[in-house]
Amino acid sequence: MSATSLTLPPLPVDPSIDHEIQAIVSGASTAETCNTDLAAGPWNFDDRPGYGPGSSMGDVIPVGSPRQGELPVEYREASPDELDARVRAAKEKLGGRVMILGHFYQREEVVRHADYVGDSFQLANAAKAHPEAEAIVFCGVHFMAETADLLSTPEQAVILPNLAAGCSMADMADIDQVEECWEQLAEIYGDMDAPDADGLVPVIPVTYMNSSAAIKGFVGRHGGIVCTSSNAQTVLEWAFERGRRVLFFPDQHLGRNTAKAMGVTLEQMPMWNPRKPLGGASAGELENARVILWHGFCSVHRRFTVDQIEKARAEHPGVRVIVHPECPMAVVDAADESGSTDYIRRAIEGAAEPTTFAIGTEVNLVQRLAADNPQHTIFCLDPVVCPCSTMYRIHPGYLAWVLEGLVNGEVLNRITVPQDVADPARLALERMLAAKPPAAPASAWENAS
Q: Which of the stretches 75-83, 236-244, 298-306, 352-360 binds ligand SF4 when contact is defined by CB under 6 A?
A: 298-306
**Nearer residue to ligand SF4 within complex by CB, 172 or 348:** 172
Q: How far is CA 356 from the centre of its chain?
A: 25
Contacts 24+ apart (CB under 8 A), 177-185: 177/274, 178/205, 178/215, 178/218, 178/249, 178/274, 179/218, 180/274, 181/247, 181/272, 181/274, 181/279, 182/218, 182/222, 182/247, 184/277, 184/278, 184/279, 185/247, 185/286, 185/292
Cα gap 80→255, rounded to integer Å: 40
- In the chain the first and final C-alpha atoms are separated, in Å, by 46
Residue 388 CB, nearest approach to ligand SF4 (Å): 3
Query: Which member of 33, 35, 390, 413 binds ligand SF4 (CB under 6 A)?
Result: 390
CA 335 to chain centre: 20
Stretch that binds ligand SF4, among 11-19, 161-169, 197-205, 364-372 (CB under 6 A): 161-169
Residue 230 CA, chain-centre distance (Å), reads 12
Q: Considering the rule CB under 6 A, would residue 167 count as an interface residue with ligand SF4?
A: yes
Residue 439's φ and ψ, nearest 5 degrees, are -70, -25
Shortest distance (Å) from residue 180 CB to ligand SF4: 23
CA-based radius of gyration for the chain:
22
Dist CA 163 CA 67 (whole Å) = 6
Q: Considering only 4-12, 107-115, 385-393, 441-449, which stretch makes contact with ligand SF4 by CB under 6 A?
A: 385-393
Instruction: Name the one range near ligand SF4 by CB under 6 A: 257-265, 383-391, 426-434, 438-446.
Output: 383-391
Is residue 299 part of the contact set for ligand SF4 (CB under 6 A)?
A: yes
Stretch that binds ligand SF4, among 6-14, 164-172, 274-282, 404-412 (CB under 6 A): 164-172
Q: Tell me the sheet residues that pair with 193.
A: none
DSSP string, 323-363: E-TTS-HHHHHHSSEE--HHHHHHHHHH--S--EEEEES-H
- Contact predicate 74/421, CB 8 Å: no
Segment 84 to 143, residues that bind ligand SF4, using CB under 6 A: 105, 141
Which range binds ligand SF4 by CB under 6 A, 1-9, 65-73, 163-171, 266-274? 163-171
* 263 three-state secondary structure: coil
List C-alpha distances in Å: 189 to 201, 264, 308: 9, 20, 42
Piece of 26-34, 388-396, 406-414, 417-425 that binds ligand SF4 (CB under 6 A):
388-396
Residue type, 298: C
Q: Are 116 and 126 in contact (CB under 8 A)?
A: yes
Q: Is 300 in the site for ligand SF4 (CB under 6 A)?
A: yes
Establish if 210 lies at the interface with ligand SF4 (CB under 6 A). yes
CB of 154 to ligand SF4, least distance (A): 26
**By CB under 6 A, is residue 341 in contact with ligand SF4?**
no
Of the pair 236, 298, the CB lying nearest ligand SF4 is at 298
Residue 39 CB, nearest approach to ligand SF4 (Å): 19
User: Which CB sits closer to ligand SF4, 75 or 229?
Assistant: 229
- Residue (109 or 171) nearer to ligand SF4, CB: 171
Contact pattern for ligand SF4 over residues 223 through 262, marking x by CB under 6 A: ----------------------------------------
Nearest-angstrom CA–CA distance, 49 and 44 = 12
Of 422, 426, 428, nearest in space to 204 by CA:
428
Candidates 23, 159, 385, 391; binder of ligand SF4 (CB under 6 A) is 391
Work out how close the CB of 376 gets to ligand SF4 at its nearest, in angstroms, rounded to a whole number. 23
Residue 361: CB minimum distance to ligand SF4, A: 8
401 close to 161: Cβ distance less than 8 angstroms: yes
State the nearest-atom distance from the C-beta of 228 to ligand SF4, in Å: 12
What single letter denotes the amino acid at residue 264?
Answer: V
| Cα–Cα distance, 252 to 388 (Å, whole number) | 18
Interface with ligand SF4, residue 164, by CB under 6 A:
no
Q: Contact with ligand SF4 (CB under 6 A): which of 157, 298, 344, 429?
A: 298
Among 388, 394, 412, 425, binds ligand SF4 (CB under 6 A): 388
With binding defined as CB under 6 A, does residue 56 bind ligand SF4?
yes
Q: Which of 158, 289 has the CB closer to ligand SF4?
A: 158
State the Cα angle at 220 between 211 and 189, rounded to 5°. Answer: 100
Number of residues this chain uses to bind ligand SF4 (CB under 6 A): 14
Q: Which is nearer to ligand SF4, 141 or 236 (CB)?
A: 141
- Only segment of 176-184, 293-301, 311-319, 405-413 that touches ligand SF4 (CB under 6 A): 293-301
Distance CA 43, CA 46 (A): 5
Question: Footprint of ligand SF4 on this chain (CB under 6 A)?
Answer: 56, 105, 141, 167-169, 210, 298-300, 362, 388, 390-391
